[in-house]
Amino acid sequence: MPSVQLPAVTPKRRAWNKGRLVVQKRPHISTRQYGRLVRDWVVSIGQEPSGYGTHSMRRTKVAEICRKTGNLRAVQLLLGHTKVDSTVRYLEVEFEDALSISERINI
């Protein structure tokens, strides 16, 4: 059976990093850049950007984690809080409720 020669596949564009030393010299994105990314994302999904912000999304995420798991200590660690009462204030929950949740979790 005769062999069939397939054409070589050649890239259409040169890779952006071809021949470059791959070392990350750029700093992390700024708070302002992050805010713009969030705003653009919110607009792209058809929502009003004034209703969403980087901080409100951060608070919503940890509030959902706390609500679904009851693990206040995990939320405290995620937020970088040194005191659990700071986390309680941040989440706007009653201290007694927070203690009850915390006592059910063994860490």
- Give the pLDDT band of residue 20 (cuts 50, 70, 90): low
Quick: pLDDT tens for 57-71. Answer: 888 888 888 888 888
Sorted by where each begins, the domain ranges of the chain are: 31-104
Tokens of 64: 């959902």
Burial label for 11, CB within 10 Å (0-12, 13-18, 19+), is exposed
Instruction: Give the Cα separation of 18 and 90 in Å (integer).
Output: 47
Instruction: Give the Cα separation of 36 and 38 in Å (integer).
Output: 5
Percentage above 70 pLDDT, the chain: 70
Q: Is the pTM of this model over 0.75?
A: no
Residue type, 17: N
Burial label for 35, CB within 10 Å (0-12, 13-18, 19+), is middle
